[in-house]
Chain A
Amino acid sequence: DGGITQSPKYLFRKEGQNVTLSCEQNLNHDAMYWYRQDPGQGLRLIYYSQIVNDFQKGDIAEGYSVSREKKESFPLTVTSAQKNPTAFYLCASSRVAALGEQFFGPGTRLTVL
């Protein structure tokens, strides 16, 4: 089945630790995105990538980092510099950036203890 997978579903982290969230897609989409969702808020863009080996910062990139070494994969690292990392993280992809709808993964709930 074609789709987007995210792992893990739930993640717990101690303060001061870096943690990496996985996002994989087999839709052959060029563009991939990371969003953060907080209670009572819509989704906010963290990073996006339009092609392999290229990515740009979104509205709330501070404390996060990404890589795009393969078309299928777009992992997100939440670093210790992120002051309030507890949130729900959603990965998405689209066939081409700026054209058409984005398809979303099931999300990862990150909790900092």
Chain B
Amino acid sequence: AQTVTQSQPEMSVQEAETVTLSCTYDTSESDYYLFWYKQPPSRQMILVIRQEAYKQQNATENRFSVNFQKAAKSFSLKISDSQLGDAAMYFCAYLGGSQGNLIFGKGTKLSVKP
């Protein structure tokens, strides 16, 4: 069975600085998707970025980028120029197989200090 591990329960970053959130996963599949979701205090799940496993190029969305290491089964999220609005829970998620359900890590709580 696939598993997703986020080893950092909490992280803190100074406003305008850069922070990296870690995620590792375990799978025997070769074709899958990986996602980072953000959950602010409102608890709405918001998609931050996605990565297809067959793509070697790392995904980027404005200040958010990933470091996807397929062989190492690692999928970290880098947030550049951190803003106060980035403070939230961040969940790494895996999507594979035929069922279509996401497998989530336990999340990393990110605090942004002014």
Contact = CB atoms under 8 A, between A and B. Distances in A.
Contacts of B91: 42-43
Contacts of A40: 106
Interface in A45-103: 45, 48, 50, 56, 58, 88, 90, 92, 94, 96-103
A31 B106 contact: no
B44 A98 contact: no
B100 A48 contact: yes
What is the size category of the interface that chain B forms with chain A?
A: 20 to 34
Given A42-B4, A42-B104, A106 B47 contact: no
B4 A94 contact: no
Interface in A13-67: 31, 33, 35, 40-45, 48, 50, 56, 58
Label chain A's interface by main secondary structure: strand
Contacts of B96: 98
B43 A106 contact: yes
Interface residues of A, number: 28
Given A42-B91, A42-B107, A43-B91, A102 B44 contact: no
Contacts of B105: 42
A107 B44 contact: yes
A33 B99 CA distance: 11
Contacts of B93: 42
A99 B104 CA distance: 16
22 contacts: A31-B100, A33-B100, A33-B101, A35-B102, A42-B105, A42-B107, A43-B91, A45-B102, A88-B43, A90-B45, A92-B45, A92-B102, A94-B100, A98-B96, A98-B97, A99-B100, A100-B33, A101-B35, A101-B95, A104-B45, A104-B46, A106-B42
Closest 9 CB pairs of A and B: A97-B100, A42-B104, A98-B100, A104-B45, A45-B101, A43-B104, A42-B106, A101-B47, A107-B43
